[in-house]
Amino acid sequence: MSRIGVFTCWCGENIARTVDVERVAEAVAQIPGVRCSVHNKYMCSDPGQTMIREKIASERLDVLVVASCSPHMHLKTFRKAAGQAGINPYLVEMSNIREHCSWVHHDKEKATEKAIQLIRLSVEKVRRNRALEPIKVPVTKRALVIGGGVAGIQAALDIADTGYEVVMVEREPSIGGKMAGLSETFPTLDCSQCILTPRMVEVGQHSRIRLYSYSEVESVDGYVGNFKVTIRQKARYVDIDKCTGCGECWNCCPLKKQLSEFDYGMGTRRAIYVPFPQAVPARPVIDKNACTKLKKGGCGLCEKKCLAKAINFKDQDKLVEELVGAIIVATGYQLYRVGQDQGKRKLSGYGEYGYGRYKDVIDSLQFERLVSASGPTGGVIKRPSDGVVPNTVVFISCVGSRDNAKGLSYCSKICCMYTAKHTMLYKHKVHEGQAHVFYMDIRAGGKNYDEFVRRAIEQDGARYHRGRVSKITEENGKLIVRGADTLAAVPLTIEADMVVLAAAMRPSDGAEELAQELGVGYDEFGFFSESHPKLRPVETNAAGVFICGACHAPKDIPEAVAQASAVAGKVQVMFGHDEMTREPEIASINEQTCAACFACVRTCPYHAIEKTEIRSPKGILVKRTARVNSGLCMGCGTCVSVCPSKSADLEGFSEQQIYSMIESLV
Amino acid sequence: MTTHPTPAHPIALIPVENCYQCGKCTAGCPMAERMDVMPNQIVRLAQLGELERALRAESIWLCVSCQTCSTRCPKSFDCAGLMDILRQQAVEQAKAAPSQVRTQLFQKAFLRNIRRYGRLNELELVRTFKTLAFLKDMNIPFLVKDALLAFKLQQRGKLYLMGERVRDRGVVDRIFQRCL
Amino acid sequence: MSATPAFEPKIVAFVCNWCTYLGADLAGTNRLEYPANVRIIRLPCTGRIDFNLLIKAFEMKADAVLVSGCHPGDCHYTSGNYHARRRWMLFRELLAILGVDLDRIHFTWISAAEGKKWQQVITEITEKTREMGPYAYLSPARTATDEQWREEAVS
Amino acid sequence: MEIGYYPGCALHGSSNDYEASVHACLKALDVSLRELDDWICCGATAAHSLNHKLSIALPARNLGLAERDGFTQMLAPCPMCSMELIKAGRCLAEDPQVRKEISGIVELPVTGKTKVLNLIQVFQQVGLERLKSSVKTTLESVRAACYYGCLLTRPPETLQFDDCEQPSSMEKILEALGAKVVTWNYKTECCGAGMTMANEETVLDLSHKILSNAAAHGANCLVVACPMCHVNLDMKQGDIESRFNVRHGMVVYYLSDLVGLALGLDPQTLGIDRHFVTRPASPAQVAN
């Protein structure tokens, strides 16, 4: 029989105002097994914790219930206090009589009655708790970074510079991500490539970073500290070790008119190409959907020209395995494809803006390439249809963002800023030009951000109209933009030469599949979920998996970089230990009673249950059984509820405990 | 989701607070240029509970019910539906803008017409409408304006001196009685 | 008027630790008042819900049971809530056969951000259950031979 | 194929050319129309502007008649009628309370289960292949601007027909008949609809823009599937021309006119000679 101590907290007035704490303590003292029932003004305070420690000693208590706030608030506090007094931390439970009782009820009688019941429930549970030890697992001190955009680069360099190895996987032929294609960045207007490319080179040359470009994560097995990652290296048809990057091949390729992905279709490339001159690795790739040799067996000119013999038309996808202890997801974003198929998520609409039909209606990333000095026009703003410099440009914000009907309900956060930047860059290049912006609200929170927007308006003369655009049509080479200026309360039609749509930020293609592979939560839009929005912003609910950058939510470069460094810090903390501990409240299988139906194996979301065989010393099969891998089990308990033979159980939430909790409610 | 009208719809049931005043309704409205109060302002007035001004606005009578606003609304707010309700209330409360009286008279004449015959009797509709309008504004050119049109229609066999009527006119009248 | 106290239904809520429990916490933080009739049993995940638990709750004189977890796609454990829902589909017939009044079982998804929804759900269920009146569930196994059972169990 | 038919007031009035065209054309395609017995007016804009309940009840009466007569599908060639009927049908289907109340008002049990079709949908049911194979005279010289107006596609959640911003169903039919279609900007802009009488200025203004844009994009005729659009663009074209001092001379066809011509029917049968703006006598000359 346990000696149970119950400690009821007043939480100042917070609990005591509606719950008669003294009466609770008296009532609880009557429960069989309760040796000590006391109360204190602030149980979590130093005097409160001292009281707990003293009572443990004086009453020889061996299990505790603290009735105060939510266990999410202070369970760790009280378990630690109990641990210091020599009680196994897992023999402490909490009753939530604040959030679930005193704060939500006004009737003192009922609230007091409820508090007593809640404590009784915890008492019934705690007396069946078992002493547990945290699970220790070894740590492989290598990190995987998925995604080589600015966030991934920052995280990788920070971790590698601390002395740990990093494996980076980038889907595209070069790292650099979206930022590599940007022109100048707000609010300082510094050149994007100038600040990014040196970092890209660092990654490419770092002795502790192994870069897999043009590769994707195929599968992830294992658990925190011990992941086994399979990486698919897509056939590049160029041996990047032999290749010197001399450029003979892409200069001789006769297929000149391939639309460049890097330029978002605004420029062209060859069938063998380096996406952009500063690419890392600065090695070409062959577009198998364009190359004549790969499609029909002709040409082969590049192979003949290559002195390094690096071209390999027989190249195939390769799978490689890497062992890592932590995984960092930095898969970034893509733009809402205006008025076009958005893949699975049935986002449709914006037929009224004519994107895809009118050549001079472009999206914001395309505009970035138009103003970029390294872009297809050499930084001269020429509209796509006829190469004429546009005299009037309309910028439309919130395209897809904040549009529940045809798009996404959230704000993409950075569009207000880059649209202001676009108007400035445009004005700086086309002095006579007029920029119009249709906006709903200007969201320019951040250091020097609002000043930046005001500069666009006051100095560079961008005309801001508060209203959405309803329709764009094309008439005699002009785009007729029908909007409204709600501040002037007028409908407003502007004849523009070009229209730039600030399309919403969405997670990259494949983000959801990756989230599922990693066991990380994601929201309805496909953005990865953090473990706690305030206190664990870069961790996920899958231990050992971290997130940074726009895969988590729309964010700008400074924020993505800050998050990336935060992730690096978390990984360094993890790698600072040779072993790591995990919560021991996990499932177990009674192998004696297991009927080997393996329903648990099929339902376990973590693939943490394996089929095993018990053999006699002579190797004769005694029985087959399921077995929990304690490194993988996260303790959800799904196996317990599906087990027909009741052989599965969960520490901390055992069958016995839950049934006796229910029984205590009589 | 767009709210579908139900037979009883006090204005309080319309989720006007869903509108975030982006102005796309005004931007796309074919009639906005002629309106005294913009569609988004009409919604705004409804949000503020300033119905008086909305009910007296000419705009609600200029609205052609083309539904462009409701169709493109990013919040799926049924602005065209709100216009309907405001029109109904404006008539009920005798607040309809005097300058737009013709539209009201036309619609009243239209309903009177179908109440009587069950189907539209175009010639009689024009006659009723013109008479009502004339009694209101004594505008002779407007009264006789479409006389020539009648001739042209007749030439094309499109003019029916006697319109159709339904057999069960009783039920039509009773439907009107129950609804009005 | 009458001296008999109003019927106060007993509602047992099985909630997951990561969404609904936190949603209820949020209701508290925001001081959203609701009837005191609910007793929360915290589970790691609704995937842990075994439908025997529901029967047990009704045997223990619960008048209504609520099962609430994370929204689809939001499960802390990736898919526990789907398992719960799938099993509910399978087991509801069985519960009906066992004589459980299915109208007294409620399923919802309440996220950690939905304190307001928790308040509404609890208020609605309490009101509904109050209207339905007390529930005296007797499992078929227990009805006739309750005593016998207990004896057997003891021995 | 037999389907129910709700002509609506316009087709039994000054838009009798549309009715002639629809009848002749569908007959040639072996679609027989069974007119709803003793149908009443749908109430149109007047009802939904002045009395909401009436705007449900009037179409609901017709839906009740259709259910009584066992119609599963019913063509309403006027988009105003079809929209009102569909809207009422949705209201009825969604809410049992409404069903009960309205059934009482209209003195007929009504559930809203009858599927109401616009003219384009009937052609779609006939099928493009069938249309293609029935062509007797290809419409080679036709360069049509297909005009949908407001009510064929809006409100989209209620009507669930075609893309409300870039509809293409009429184009597909005309292309199957060998006609050329032009890309233009005013496909779904409003022509002023039922305001013809009460607010003529507006109608002339809006319709003028539509006619101009169609011509600017190289169309030699407009194609509509709405009697009100036809009134505004055809009958009022003279007024538009004198108001804006321009010469449009734009022939405005009903969709069924062009289908009929392609099927070898003569313009008189299709009622084309009753249009205000006329030119052609034979299909070959349709668009000269």
Query: Which positions in chain D have a beta carbon within 8 angstroms of at least one beta carbon in chain A?
Result: 163-166, 185-186, 213, 216
B174 touches chain D (CB under 8 A): yes
A139-163 burial, b at 16+ Cβ within 10 Å, e below that, comes to bbbbbbbbbbbbbbbbbbbbbbeee
Alpha carbon distance D225, D233 (integer Å): 12
Task: Please report the ipTM that was assigned to this predicted complex.
Answer: 0.77
Q: What is the mean pLDDT of residues D27-56?
A: 92
Q: What is the mean pLDDT of residues A466-477?
A: 93
List the single residue in B with minimal CA-CA distance to A403: B74
Tokens describing residue D32: 């027989």
In this predicted model, what pLDDT tens digit does every residue of A171-222 receive, in sequence order?
999 999 999 999 999 999 999 999 999 999 999 999 999 999 999 999 998 8
Give every strand in the sheet of D2-5, ordered side by side.
D32-35, D2-5, D73-75, D115-117
Q: Is the pLDDT of residue A349 over 70?
A: no
What percentage of chain B carries pLDDT values higher than 70?
93
Tell me the Ramachandran region of residue D112: left when phi exceeds 0, alpha when psi lies from -120 to 50, beta otherwise. left
Q: What is the mean pLDDT of residues A114-129?
A: 95
In this predicted model, what pLDDT tens digit does every residue of A284-337 receive, in sequence order?
999 999 999 999 998 999 999 999 999 999 999 999 999 999 999 999 999 987
| pLDDT for position A314 | 95
pTM across the whole model: 0.80
DSSP letter for each residue of A251-291: HH-S---EEPTTTTTSSEE-SEE-SSTT-SS---EE-TTT-
CA distance readout (Å), A473 to A209, B29, D188: 50, 15, 12
B16-51 burial, b at 16+ Cβ within 10 Å, e below that, comes to beebbbbbbbbbbbbbbeebbbbbbbbbbbbeeeeb
| pLDDT for position A340 | 60
Alpha carbon distance A407, A401 (integer Å): 6
List the single residue in C with minimal CA-CA distance to A643: C50
Q: Do the Cβ atoms of D152 and D167 come closer than 8 Å? A: yes
B75 touches chain A (CB under 8 A): yes
Name chain C's partners: 3 or more CB pairs within 8 A.
Answer: A
Q: Is the pLDDT of residue B1 over 60?
A: no
* Average pLDDT value for chain A: 93
Element (H, E) at A168: strand A165-169
- In chain D, which residue ranges form alpha helices assigned H by DSSP? 8-11, 16-28, 44-50, 52-68, 79-94, 96-106, 119-126, 128-134, 156-159, 169-176, 200-216, 227-230, 237-244, 255-262
| pLDDT for position D288 | 39
Of A157, A176, A174, A181, the residue nearest A213 (C-alpha): A174
Name chain B's partners: 3 or more CB pairs within 8 A.
Answer: A, D
Which residue of A469, A474, A479, A482 to mutate against D (max D Cβ within 10 Å)? A474
In this predicted model, what pLDDT tens digit does every residue of A237-279 receive, in sequence order?
999 999 999 999 999 999 999 999 999 999 999 999 999 999 9
Alpha carbon distance D184, A382 (integer Å): 25
| Cβ-based neighbours of A198, under 8 Å, separated by 6 or more | none
DSSP letter for each residue of D15-40: THHHHHHHHHHHHHTT-EEEEPTT--
| pLDDT for position C150 | 53
Which residue of D39, D50, D65, D226 to mutate against B (max B Cβ within 10 Å)? D50
Q: Do the Cβ atoms of A87 and A61 come closer than 8 Å? A: yes
pLDDT band for position B125 (cuts 50, 70, 90): confident
Of C22, C27, C15, C111, the residue nearest A524 (C-alpha): C111
| pLDDT for position C141 | 56
* Average pLDDT value for chain B: 87
A475 touches chain D (CB under 8 A): yes
Torsion angles phi and psi, residue B4, rounded to 5: -90, 140
List the single residue in A with minimal CA-CA distance to C79: A605
For residue C109, give the amino acid letter. W
In this predicted model, what pLDDT tens digit does every residue of D72-118 receive, in sequence order?
999 999 999 999 999 999 999 988 889 999 999 999 999 999 999 99
Q: Is the pLDDT of residue D15 over 70?
A: yes
| pLDDT for position D284 | 46
For residue A381, give the amino acid letter. I
The stretches in chain C having pLDDT less than 50 are 1-3, 144-145, 155
| pLDDT for position C147 | 54
Alpha carbon distance C108, C66 (integer Å): 8
Interface of B with A in 87-116 (CB under 8 A): none
Say which residue the tokens 């025997």 belong to.
C52
In this predicted model, what pLDDT tens digit does every residue of A13-48 receive, in sequence order?
999 999 999 999 999 999 999 999 999 999 999 999
More confident residue, A419 or C111: A419
In this predicted model, what pLDDT tens digit does every residue of D231-278 receive, in sequence order?
999 999 999 999 999 999 999 999 999 999 999 999 999 999 999 998
Question: With an 8 Å Cβ cutoff, are A482 and B24 in contact?
Answer: no
A96: helix, strand or coil:
strand
| pLDDT for position D199 | 79
Q: What is the mean pLDDT of residues D213-235?
A: 94
Q: Is the pLDDT of residue A599 over 90?
A: yes
pLDDT band for position B40 (cuts 50, 70, 90): very high
Q: Do the Cβ atoms of D154 and D167 come closer than 8 Å? A: no
Q: What is the mean pLDDT of residues A1-12?
A: 91
Question: With an 8 Å Cβ cutoff, are A98 and C28 in contact?
Answer: yes
Alpha carbon distance D160, D12 (integer Å): 27
| pLDDT for position D192 | 85
Question: With an 8 Å Cβ cutoff, are D51 and B179 in contact?
Answer: yes
List the single residue in D with minimal CA-CA distance to B149: D235
Rounded to 10°, the helix B101-117/B169-179 angle is 140
Of the candidate ranges A641-645, B114-118, D44-48, the one whose mean pLDDT is the lowest: D44-48
Of A107, A211, A223, A77, the residue nearest A157 (C-alpha): A211
| pLDDT for position A356 | 86
| Cβ-based neighbours of A27, under 8 Å, separated by 6 or more | A116
Collect all residues of chain A within an 8 Å Cβ-Cβ radius of residue D166. Answer: 351, 357
More confident residue, C125 or B103: C125
| pLDDT for position C52 | 87
- In chain C, which residue ranges form alpha helices assigned H by DSSP? 20-29, 51-59, 80-97, 115-132, 140-143, 146-154
In this predicted model, what pLDDT tens digit does every residue of B141-161 receive, in sequence order?
887 777 778 888 888 888 887
Question: With an 8 Å Cβ cutoff, are C78 and A635 in contact?
Answer: no
Q: What is the mean pLDDT of residues A428-433?
A: 96
Alpha carbon distance D197, D236 (integer Å): 11
| pLDDT for position B2 | 40
Distance from CA of A25 to the nearest CA of C (A): 19
Of the candidate ranges A177-181, A658-662, B8-12, the one whose mean pLDDT is the lowest: B8-12
Return the HEC string of B68-108: HHHHHCCCCCCHHHHHHHHHHHHHHCCCCCHHHHHHHHHHH
Distance from CA of A639 to the nearest CA of C (A): 7
| pLDDT for position D287 | 43
Alpha carbon distance A513, A486 (integer Å): 42
| pLDDT for position A234 | 97
Collect all residues of chain B within an 8 Å Cβ-Cβ radius of residue A470. Answer: 24-25, 27-29, 68, 72
Name chain A's partners: 3 or more CB pairs within 8 A.
Answer: B, C, D
Distance from CA of A535 to the nearest CA of C (A): 15
| pLDDT for position C154 | 52
Question: With an 8 Å Cβ cutoff, are A491 and B24 in contact?
Answer: no
In this predicted model, what pLDDT tens digit does every residue of D128-157 receive, in sequence order?
999 999 999 989 899 999 999 988 998 888
Q: Is the pLDDT of residue A655 over 80?
A: yes
CA torsion, ordered B29, B33, B37, B41, to nearest 10 deg: 40
CA distance readout (Å), C8 to A110, A458, A650, C130, D249: 10, 66, 33, 7, 80
Tokens describing residue B108: 């009243």
